[in-house]
Amino acid sequence: MNNQIKRQATVRKPRRRDRISSTRVLERRGQTWEKLLATAGRLMAEAGPARVSVQQILLDTGISRGSFYGYCASKTDLLVAIIEPVFTEGCAALATLLNEPPKAVIPGIVAMYIDLWARRRHALMLIPGVDAATFARMRNAHQAYTAAMKQALDHAAKDAQLRNESAVYTFRVLTRTAVPLLRVYQDHPDGERLYRESMLALLMA
């Protein structure tokens, strides 16, 4: 019994230097993952997912094949990781609009797209070209995002804020124009203002 107590007493607690070292390892892993997402997103948005190989991603990132498969099992996993945050973050942003006056909803949705474009441009560009099998893996996140968008538009419609007086048609217009119009203005020096004005004119009464 005494020996067991002594052994327990001699178990070394992690030193501060060890804790700092572990934190740095985690930080480096996080940085590598972000680099992988950013580079793969850019390559696939420019050429299309089918035309970008894992080898090309490795060459552009400088990451080894072993490290790549330590982060994700396949290129499809990587593609899902790039795109899915658009739906989860968008869903969260839309939920906050339900606490705003109806007249603030459409400007809030436009601001959400501007923010997503600034942070996740390549993901937004990739969504239209995703194959059905890959999209199925994001079904829950996409359905939640769609439901949140419709709920926000229903809220806007309470105060006759929609140009076509229908949340259904506003949803169709919004989902077909929001990202393409971002691409139209992406290189314009005053693109954000022009995009905002165009979207508000298109959607609001």
What is the phi/psi pair of residue 12, to 5°?
-80, 130
38 and 87 in one domain?
no
Q: What is the pLDDT of residues 99-157, one digit of tens each?
A: 999 999 999 999 999 999 999 999 999 999 999 999 999 999 999 999 999 999 999 99
Same domain? For 54 and 104 the reply is: no
170, part of any domain: yes
Q: Kindly state whether residue 2 falls inside one of the protein's structural domains.
A: no
Examine the domain organization and report whether 88 and 36 are in the same domain. no
Average pLDDT in the 65-84 region? 95
Q: What does the pLDDT average to over 84-90?
A: 97
Q: Which residue has the higher pLDDT, 205 or 123?
A: 123
Residue 24 lies in a domain: yes
**Is the pLDDT reported for residue 17 higher than 90?**
no
pLDDT the model gives residue 5: 47
Which of the pair, 188 or 21, is modelled with greater confidence?
188
Q: What is the pLDDT of residue 22?
A: 57
> Same structural domain for residues 158 and 176?
yes
Question: What's the domain range around 200?
Answer: 80-205
Selected residue with higher pLDDT from 11 and 123? 123
Residues 66 and 161 in one domain: no
Residue 21 CB contacts under 8 Å (≥ 6 apart), including other chains: none
pLDDT at 67 over 70: yes
> Is residue 5 in some structural domain?
no
87 and 65 in one domain? no
- Indicate which CATH number applies to the domain containing 195: 1.10.357.10
User: What is the domain count for the chain?
Assistant: 2
> Do 111 and 200 belong together in one domain?
yes
Are 86 and 45 members of one domain?
A: no
Has residue 198 got a pLDDT over 60? yes
Residue 8: pLDDT over 60: no
The model's confidence at residue 3, banded by pLDDT at 50, 70 and 90, is low
Pick the range with the lowest mean pLDDT from 9-18, 54-63, 70-79, 164-173.
9-18
Same domain, 156 and 195: yes
Q: Kindly report the pTM of this predicted structure.
A: 0.84
Q: Which of 3-12, 27-36, 131-140 has the highest mean pLDDT?
A: 131-140
Domain membership flag for residue 4? no
Residue 8 included in any domain: no
The pLDDT assigned to 130 comes to 93
Q: Which of 51, 71, 91 is where one domain is finished?
A: 71
pLDDT of residue 20: 47
Whether 147 is covered by a domain: the verdict is: yes
Question: Is the domain of 65 the same as that of 153?
Answer: no
In this structure, what are the phi and psi dihedrals at residue 162, rounded to the nearest 5 degrees?
-100, 135
28 with 85, same domain: the answer is: no
170 shares its domain with 91? yes
The residue with greater pLDDT, 19 or 95, is 95
> In percent, how much of the chain has pLDDT > 90?
79
Average pLDDT estimate for 75-96: 97
